[in-house]
Chains A and B, each alone.
Chain A
Amino acid sequence: MTGSFFRSRSAWAIAGLIVLFLFPVFFDRFYVYLTAIILLTGLCATSLNFVLGYGGVFQFHHAVFYGVGAYGTALMILKSGLSPWLGFIVGPVVAAVLGLIIGLICIRLSKLYFGMLQISLGSLVWAIVYRWYSFTGGDDGIHGVPLPDIISSPNGAYYFTLIVTSASMFVLYRMLKSPFGSALQGIRDNPVRSEMIGVNVRLQQLLALTIAGFFGGVAGALFVVVDNTVFPDMMFWTLSMELVIMCLLGGWLSYLGPMVGAAVIVLLRTYVSGITVYWALVLGIIMMLVIFFLPNGVLGYLDRFLKKKARAR
């Protein structure tokens, strides 16, 4: 039974990928761009959820890793003179290292304290980027990052984003289903007990934070590919809040929840803002409705709904 279930799940994944691959053939450039943004934002939110939803760590300043990944990539391309492809590795790696460092400092703290200390540290990083004009371009950011030819066209950027995102999503998924992932979820639910069964809670969480930082960085690097620019707002705390909201809105206990949340937010922003400047108001109201009626997020609701149906059958 599990076999057929798994098969159907991979079947769905493959079908989804095919649709996404064919997307540029049928749709206008703008929609391709929008999809790329959703994918990379969703990847960023998923990497956050790796520690937030599955690790129970209040990672409140995930945008730092997104931003650092982007800056790392952009600066590497602009300043090093080495192959731009190297930038796509350096950015995420720098983000991962930063994730480890910030993690080391914060890890002793619990919940809200963790989150707030992380916001402080993240804000320090942000302040440095914001103020270090000569290197980072200050609050104006860096614009017009040159890219290798094959990914500089809109479609090239889209396919690159699609491939990297799906690969990352797959890797993250495998990690969650691995013993490491089980231990991580155990820690989320009951850290004391986890320690009592021989899990080195801190170390386990640190690794998770590093991984999350890495994939946050990957998303940042993809942003450089899609939008060719970086700016300090990418690591401002408001964006981090938005990422948390994507996780919660989509469903932070389901794997694709954050991706769905990202899609919801990006689409709302795009379409509602075309109708009214009061789109924050609309977004706020929609969020409240979700909280009231879908307490487990959009996907959490669907999950439950489907399960209930399956049971009824």
Chain B
Amino acid sequence: MLEVTSLSKSFDGFKAVNNAGLIVKNGETVAVIGPNGAGKTTLFNLITGVIRPDSGKVLFKGEDITGLKPYQVCRRGISRSFQVVNVFPRLSVFENVQVSVLSRQKKTWNLFTPSSRLAIAETDRILENVGLSDVRDNTSTALSHGERKVLEIAIALGGNPEFLILDEPTAGMSPEETSRCIDLIRQLKEKLGITILFCEHDMEIVFSISDRIMVMVRGSTIIEGTCDEVRCCQEVQDAYLGGSDVCLM
């Protein structure tokens, strides 16, 4: 479904992403792991058009989407969440998601129908799915950190994506919230058939939900493979896991 080939991006001469490659097949859940500063977030930014690559190609469903604007990428069915919480602070939780839904329905040019009559059912369904119905009318700033992270995902879901990119979805969540979040991701994958690309530092999560893992170090892909392949690979151990006990799990 998504094919990234030899993508590169440098900032002031520093190669943040260097010849990275990645393939995600339909229905898969793929994790990107790598040390801090490996270029994971930058890779996601390149795929979604937030920044333009210096070279390389991104193919989505066989079409070239390299260098498209974020909104164009989004309209092709790719949604994402951000590492740092990035929601609409002055809007309510409901509105946060509703805007996303309306945008997907191409209704943002509608000047005269009140929004309050549009896309209500769908927005509520998404909120229900992610478990935010209770705080539907709060403004997003009044949410706890974990809830805001979930709202992040909900906004992304508003775009009814075929392909979802999540940047450290559980960072900063408590164990309880984390496990809820994992359930949610599983549901998305299984019930809705969404293809997911995510990055995460919590290896338990990575190994429990991903089909395949890509390991990035200093901007380049060093290995791509199934959990087991990656888990005990020496390079990965050295560069990232640092001999933690995951190999035994």
A residues near B (Cβ < 8 Å) are: 2, 174-175, 177-183, 185-186, 188-190, 192-201, 204, 207, 253
Contacts and interface: CB of A to CB of B under 8 A. Distances in A.
Contact of B69 (A185, A193, A195): A195
A177 B113 CA distance: 8
B115 A181 contact: yes
A171 to B, nearest CB: 8
B89 interface: yes
A189 B115 contact: no
Given A182-B95, A189-B89, A190-B89, A195 B108 contact: no
B111 A178 contact: yes
Given A193-B86, A197-B74, A204 B50 contact: no
B198 to A, nearest CB: 16
Interface stretch (B96-104, B219-227, B233-241): B96-104
B107 interface: yes
Contacts of B48: 196
Given A179-B118, A198-B104, A199-B103, A193 B111 contact: no
Contacts of A204: 108
A6 B156 CA distance: 31
A197 B99 contact: yes
A178 B114 contact: yes
Contacts of A195: 50, 69-71, 74
A196 B50 contact: yes
Nearest to B165: A196
A179 B104 contact: no
Contacts of A198: 71, 74-75, 100, 103-104, 159
Contacts of A177: 114-116
B14 interface: no
Nearest to B90: A189
Given A193-B155, A197-B158, A178 B103 contact: no
Contacts of A207: 109
A182 B115 contact: yes
Given A177-B114, A179-B108, A182-B115, A201 B71 contact: yes
Given A175-B111, A178-B110, A185 B91 contact: yes
Interface residues of B, number: 38
8 contacts: A182-B108, A182-B115, A183-B102, A186-B91, A186-B99, A189-B91, A197-B103, A199-B103
Interface in B65-105: 69-71, 74-75, 79-80, 82, 86-91, 95, 98-100, 102-104
B11 interface: no
A160 B207 CA distance: 70
A159 to B, nearest CB: 26
Given A174-B114, A199-B108, 10 more contacts: A174-B112, A175-B111, A179-B107, A180-B111, A182-B99, A183-B108, A197-B74, A198-B71, A200-B69, A207-B109
Contacts of A182: 91, 95, 98-99, 102, 108, 115
A190 B84 CA distance: 13
Contact of B50 (A179, A189, A192): A192
B54 to A, nearest CB: 21
Contacts of A188: 90
A44 to B, nearest CB: 20
Nearest to A204: B108
A197 B155 contact: yes
Nearest to A177: B114
A57 to B, nearest CB: 15
B232 to A, nearest CB: 36
Nearest to A201: B71
Contacts of B107: 179
Nearest to A181: B115
Contacts of A201: 71
Contacts of B109: 179-180, 207
B150 to A, nearest CB: 15
A200 B79 CA distance: 15
Q: Which of A189, A193, A195, A207 has the most CB of B within 10 A?
A: A193
Contacts of B95: 182
B167 to A, nearest CB: 11
B88 A190 contact: yes
Interface string B204-227: 000000000000000000000000
A97 B113 CA distance: 25
Interface in B114-140: 114-116, 118
A197 B107 CA distance: 13
A197 B115 contact: no
A190 B103 CA distance: 14
Nearest to A189: B88
Contacts of A190: 86-89
B69 A192 contact: no
